[in-house]
Amino acid sequence: MSRHTDPKQRIVTSFQRHVANPVLRRVPLQTVLETTGRTSGLPRRTPVGGRRVGDAFWLVSEYGEKSHYIRNIKADPSVRVRIRGRWHEGTAHLLPDDDPVARLRTLPRMNSAAVRVLGSQLLTVRVDLRD
């Protein structure tokens, strides 16, 4: 049995990892979440959709606990977020008790629609920014 039993997740994740993410990471104004690899210890950058509200950045993970960046956050919650081309340090908090569908209604519309359509185990993440 493979690590990912959901075929939709496997297809979407493969496309994101090999096609979309390498391109989007290079777009200067794309929002990017940088975590520390839980095994490698290396920086891992993932394009994300979300919104800054005051001193917090909010996003919803499509695959919750199965997402690699969520697993990295569980190992080390210190992250960086690139918002409008500027890096911000922060601490990520997984919020399983938050309503991710309601949260998506407060986040950018295009990304939120994609997360709702493609996702299967939505999980809200709040990053408390330090600067």
Q: Which pLDDT score, from 0 to 100, does residue 11 have?
A: 63
In terms of Cβ atoms closer than 10 Å to its own Cβ (0-12, 13-18, 19+), residue 87 is exposed
What is this structure's pTM? Answer: 0.80
CA triplet 39, 41, 47: central angle to 5 degrees? Answer: 95
pLDDT in tens, the chain (131 residues): 345 467 766 666 665 666 555 555 555 568 999 999 999 999 999 989 999 999 999 999 988 998 999 999 999 999 999 999 999 999 999 999 999 999 999 998 877 888 887 788 999 999 999 97
CB 67 within 8 A of CB 75: no
Q: Which pLDDT score, from 0 to 100, does residue 109 have?
A: 84
In terms of Cβ atoms closer than 10 Å to its own Cβ (0-12, 13-18, 19+), residue 130 is exposed
Rounded Cα distance between 23 and 68, Å, is 18
Question: Tokens at residue 47, please?
Answer: 């394009």
Q: Which pLDDT score, from 0 to 100, does residue 116 have?
A: 80
